[in-house]
Amino acid sequence: MPWTLALLYSDDSLLAVDKPSGMLSIPDRYDPDAPVAASELHAAWGRLFVVHRLDKDTSGVLVYARNPDAHRALSAAFESRSVAKVYRALVRGAPDWDEIRCDLPLRPDGDRLHRTIVDAHKGKGSATAFHLISRYKNYALVEARPETGRTHQVRVHLAALGHPCLCDPLYGDGDPLLLSKLKRRWKGDPYEERPLLGRAALHALSAAFPHPMTGDELRIEAPLAKDMRAAIAQLEKL
């Protein structure tokens, strides 16, 4: 299938795109046949330098450096926590909190499924601030602001709080969100029904950081992905 990466920002130093779900940020030994964002961009933009990653399922803001100097500066910014990242997640269950901070330590590749796990002894310090945006019947829309950058951090912390991302195959039940399960009187063909949402419901909404050359604050935002908007529209009707 043809892939489209919407351009969010570009200059001589960096490039930011809206990565669709189903695309890797960089090549992955676990999924060698999956499309890779940097490869899709190469023909138009030349060599790009990776400064951070999004999970394959996660949509939203993905930033690349365009030269070695910008790469060094952006990498340092991401590593030093001077990048403010905001995510949106659809989760199972309606949290009884409006604001909460999860600081459970995490260890990547901690089990036979190569998942990140909560590990009080060997895990690294991790923290994510969560804000409840909307409650629905048995579901919720949550904003996440990770303060550290551990692998799968937002997904693991949400699962640890008892509210995993919808459709998350690693940290939740992996079940797709179906209209037939939401509407009592749904009359469609169950053999032809397409899920409203079939991937871990996480979207990288924005990233704010100092421009690598000027130092000016730069904020880049990607609109909520179409599948998540469709899911929210149905959940609001419950």
Q: Which residues are known to be catalytic?
A: 55
- Cα radius of gyration (the chain): 18
Residue indicated by tokens 């450096």:
65
Nearest to 134 by CA among 175, 103, 173, 94: 94
> What CA–CA distance (Å, rounded) separates 182 from 71?
46
Give the CA distances from residue 47 to residues 42, 62, 215, in Å, rounded to whole numbers and listed in that order: 6, 15, 23
Q: Return the DSSP state at 195.
A: P
Beta carbons of 170 and 102 less than 8 angstroms apart: no
Q: Show the tokens assigned to 233.
A: 């529209």
Residues 6+ apart with CB under 8 A from 11: none
- Closest by alpha carbon to 154, among 34, 60, 163? 163
